[in-house]
A and B are shown apart, each in its own frame.
Chain A
Amino acid sequence: MSGMESILVVEDCPDAQAQVERALTGLKVHFAGSLAEARKKLEALQDLCLVLLDLGLPDGNGFSLCSEIAATGGPRVPVIFLTGSDDTRDLVTAFSLGADDYIQKPFVSLELRARVMGRLRRRTEEHDRILEIGPLTIDLDQMRTYLRGEDGRSEIVLTPIEHRLVHALVENPGRLMTRQSLISRVWADAIVGPRTVDTHVSNLRAKLGADCIEIEAVRGVGYRAFERRQELG
């Protein structure tokens, strides 16, 4: 786990909250006792790395929140259900909605901690497959690209070629990529001409917008990408 990221525990029973807090000693844990409170905290917590979610809550069930988290743009936050339900249908529903694990109450603190730490370890490994430059986040596994703006994060829909192109350009910011090296990386040495590269770069610039990253053309050679800095004064 890089740094100290937040875990959100959505649980209305104070005794269960106390046990979770004890089990996760040393981690940054926030509690929400209802879905409404959880939604507020999900918006507020920028460093969220995991959600522990009870099923039966005073204002609804955890399934709806799990769906909402799964539908959120950007790298996915893992969800572990922590529930007293022993109904197999609930377990199946939880996993079908995108849950990463399912712990049945009553639980043993040692087991809860082990499962949470295991999930966080896997998340760190997955996070290495996320590329970030300025407001741009590229999820290499999911082949999805997101742009962070004033209204939160939104997805930029790119074609597979555009995705490979932006990956090649921003992987080493400022490094000159020749057209031939881009053809090799993006088109796997298929027979394409330099103008094809130019056309795709032009499309990519249009999709990313002017405020995101700068893709500079180096005449007769290729391209290099930079994070666009805010103008001072």
Chain B
Amino acid sequence: MVDPPSEDLLAQQTKDDLRRRIEAEMADLVPGYLENRSKDLQSLRVWAAKGDFESIRGVGHNMKGSGRGYGFEEVTEIGGALEGSAIAESGSEVAQHIDQLAAFLSRAQADCRTAHRQGEDRES
């Protein structure tokens, strides 16, 4: 007799299925979304240098609210962390989260370019 799948496995499958559906649904909006985050990154660096925590909080809040909807759980997490650090007015934590965002964007944009190339190869 085959054991039924564990609850953890089912939860993971549901999560994966949901992620795939989000990715498919939002695929054409993703490059624009990442582009907007790159602009945020530049603004965040300027605001961090000036100690403008209110502006950093606002952008962090918006990233937290939008990331998962576009399939980027990491953006939601970094956004939430930025918001919290800005409220605490912790410049060092803000700088750390800005670095995390830069690293994420570098990876995500590379993945995006690869996916785009693969799509073009399939079409040709």
Instruction: Give chain A's interface residues, CB within 8 Å of chain B.
Output: 13-16, 18-19, 22, 56, 83-84, 105-110
Contacts and interface: CB of A to CB of B under 8 A. Distances in A.
Contacts, number: 55
Q: Is the interface of B mostly helix, strand, loop or mixed?
A: helix
Interface of B: 18, 21-22, 25-26, 29, 32-33, 36, 61-62, 64-70, 76
A107 B71 CA distance: 10
A16 B62 contact: yes
Contacts of A56: 61
Most buried by A among B22, B25, B66, B76: B66
B68 A108 contact: yes
Nearest to B18: A108
B21 A105 contact: no
Contacts of A13: 62, 65-66
Given A19-B26, A22-B29, A109-B26, A84 B65 contact: yes
Contacts of B68: 106-108
B54 to A, nearest CB: 12
B41 to A, nearest CB: 14
Nearest to B58: A56
